[in-house]
Amino acid sequence: MVAVFAADRDWPVYLGDKASTHFSSLTQINRKNVHRLQMAWTCHSGDGRQDNRSQIQCNPLVIGGVLYGTSAQLKLLALEAATGRELWRFDPFAGRSGASSLGVNRGVVYWADGQDRRILFTAGQFLYAIDASNGKPLESFGQSGRVDIREGLGRDPSKLYVIPTTPGVVYRDLLVLGSRVSEGPGPSSPGHIRAYHVRTGQLVWTFHTIPYPGEPGYETWPPDAWKYMGGANCWTGMAVDEDRGMVFIPTGSAAFDFWGGNRIGQNLYANCLLALDAATGRRIWHFQFVHHDVWDRDLPAPPNLLTVRRDGKRIDAVAQVTKSGHVFVLNRETGEPLFPIEERPVPPSDLQGESVWPTQPFPVKPAPFARQMFTADLITDISRESYVAVLEKFIKVRPHLPFMPPSTQGTIILPGFDGGAEWGGAAVDPRRGILYVNGNEMPWILTMVETKAKAGAQLSSGRQIYNQICAACHGISREGDPARAYPTLANIGQKLKKPEILQLLDSGRGNMPAFAFLTQPQKEAVTDLLLGQEGSGSGDRGAVPDSAELVLDEPYSHTGYNRWLDTNGYPAVKPPWGTLNAIDLNTGEYLWRIPLGEVPELKAKGIPPTGMENYGGPVVTAGGLVFIAATKDEMIRAFDQDSGKMLWQTNLPAGGYATPATYVVNGRQFLVIACGGGKMGTKSGDAYVAFALPPGKGK
């Protein structure tokens, strides 16, 4: 049995229901009248950042006429769902000196037992329990209403970076929770899955995604990996089959993302869909999508639970979309594939100490919803200038094949690091077995760099530390990456003084992990480099010729997450650059595939819609509609479920990089979307915007 869809009136669970269907049974807004949708209300939280580094990725809940969501700076909000009027707000950072509200939160959890109604949500390293009626912390939960989720991982909590960005799932009185951890070179937190009691905050069970001695999967890692390796975490959300008492958990790669010489082996349970007993955490089955991942191929979204038809029989299934643009469809009880999956050989690595797994799994059906190869005939032809510039680089990087390993020459990643599928995930119509997924088709280039200076090219201590721990996000030249909200460090001395930078290295801020493992001289060295003061302080130790002086064990870092763009800033590959796809999971065949989004300046030149990079997922309704925002053009759209024809679109005040929700209050159906912007270099926003049919025109 599939978990119940979003209730007739409410949107009570992240992504609609515990089956993660993104589906609503509401029909008031439908194919015939959706063109009449108009803005019903807007609520501004007032805390969008002027530097365009804040976002709102929240898929809000709506229960009993109240909307619960989070703001641009992670405040918990309760709004009157019919009008957008604010009822209360809770600031998790109030009174916390040095705490940062810069980060993302994709949703919250609601739990009730009689008059005990609570919201469970995370901000920073804390899990909070908040009274749903007034926004006050529940003192009986953890310590004064919160639990530090860095604790209980078997390592020093003060040196761990653990910040869940996506809500967990409730099974009975348990909250099953994943986490985001550091993925770069250097120490990383383990991504163990944990269940907390929703009343007390007490830790009830833990599943070790990096197995301990004696646990199944231990042999797929080096003997002591459980003591030092990190990652294999669930940052994406989960799904629950309450009838079977099973929770389905997608995991990410082990850290470091792009070199695994210190974790040779298959690396269970990284890159797996885990089916666990929700009451105990016992493993029922698992399926691994990438063996020994060195491509950052995290499972990017919660799985979808649905029922499909096969040979006249109904089979309860679980579907998992991937960054590589594939859909794997498995039997929910056993993990057995419902379409053939082939283990195919992949190229070996030439990086020092690396040994990639010789094969990787590929589903035969459905066909990928994103292109898998970047060949010369796919080079952009938007302009002659663009074509020539991309061709020149194409000749220099490694020829592209699926799962071509990282290299110092430069490796093409297509689909890119942000999918294929991303955290918005897929929607399903569980009545019909149809899956709807938006995808990216952006090529990126991954270039590895050695962290040890070669003879005759010795680097200062500060430079070596920067190359190891900072360059991946901020770039070798410190230029930053506005598209991913990583700021430039070129003139950091104009914004921060030395003590403030040292404090940041110690504690982290928002998306930046803490680097508490650095010694004080090492922190001084990298700070002096950033401030242009090398040689003037105690932190500078001059050139570092020996690997013994390096901060980390990994011999490689990388130059950052680099989209491959042409001279005009468009993707280096021919369109489409973003798509929306409808796939019949009963047969594995596509119903339709269309570009999602359009570039206004190209449209003005008569170029057909190209699709755009997109973040946030779709919602499907029994009214025959697929709603989705997600695109850089700051639009929200409605499509016909059966044909893919666009039936409605309108501008948003900022990019809707989130998944919408739909609900009914006082007999009127609403569609609401968080408009936080801030991704892909777009402006930040601070609004929730709701749409509805004009009063009296619901038919």
pLDDT tens string 89-134: 999 999 876 666 778 999 999 999 999 999 999 999 999 999 999 9
Q: Which amino acid is at 628?
A: I
Total domains, the chain: 1
CB 258 within 8 A of CB 294: yes
| Least confident segment among 152-161, 514-523, 666-675 | 514-523
> Is 536 contained in some domain?
yes
Say how far apart CA 166 and CA 517 lie, in whole Å.
26
CB 594 within 8 A of CB 580: yes
Say how far apart CA 516 and CA 125 lie, in whole Å.
15
Query: Is 157 exposed, middle or buried (CB count within 10 Å of its CB: 0-12, 13-18, 19+)?
Result: middle
- List pLDDT tens digits, range 251-299: 999 999 999 999 999 999 999 999 999 999 999 999 999 999 999 999 9
Say how far apart CA 65 and CA 81 lie, in whole Å.
5
Say how far apart CA 657 and CA 323 lie, in whole Å.
17
Report residue 539's pLDDT band, with 50, 70 and 90 as the boundaries.
Answer: very low
Q: Tell me the average pLDDT across 424-441.
A: 97
**Is this structure's pTM higher than 0.85?**
yes
> Is 547 contained in some domain?
yes
Q: What confidence score (pLDDT) does residue 517 get?
A: 73
Q: Is the pLDDT of residue 538 over 50?
A: no
> Is 459 contained in some domain?
yes
Q: Specify the 3-state DSSP secondary structure of 646.
A: strand
Q: Tell me the average pLDDT across 598-626.
A: 96
Q: Specify the 3-state DSSP secondary structure of 504.
A: helix
> Is 486 contained in some domain?
yes
Q: What confidence score (pLDDT) does residue 185 get?
A: 87
Q: What confidence score (pLDDT) does residue 213 get?
A: 98
Q: Tokens 């002027």 map to which residue?
A: 50
Residues facing residue 558 across a β-bridge: 448
> Is 92 contained in some domain?
no
What lies within 8 Å, CB to CB, of 458 at 6+ separation is 543, 544, 545
Q: Is the pLDDT of residue 443 over 60?
A: yes
Residue 465: which domain range? 452-551
Determine which helix (DSSP H) or strand (DSSP E) holds 469, and give its type and residue range: helix 461-469
Question: What CATH number is given to the structural domain containing 466?
Answer: 1.10.760.10
Residues facing residue 488 across a β-bridge: none
Structure tokens at 452: 């040890």
> Is 656 contained in some domain?
no
Q: Is the pLDDT of residue 635 over 60?
A: yes
> Is 98 contained in some domain?
no
CB 271 within 8 A of CB 290: yes
CB 652 within 8 A of CB 683: no
Q: Tokens 């119940």 map to which residue?
A: 4
Q: Helix axis angle, 520-530 relative to 498-507, nearest 10°?
A: 130
Q: Tell me the average pLDDT across 463-475.
A: 78
- List pLDDT tens digits, range 34-71: 999 999 999 999 999 999 999 999 999 999 999 999 99
CB 634 within 8 A of CB 654: yes
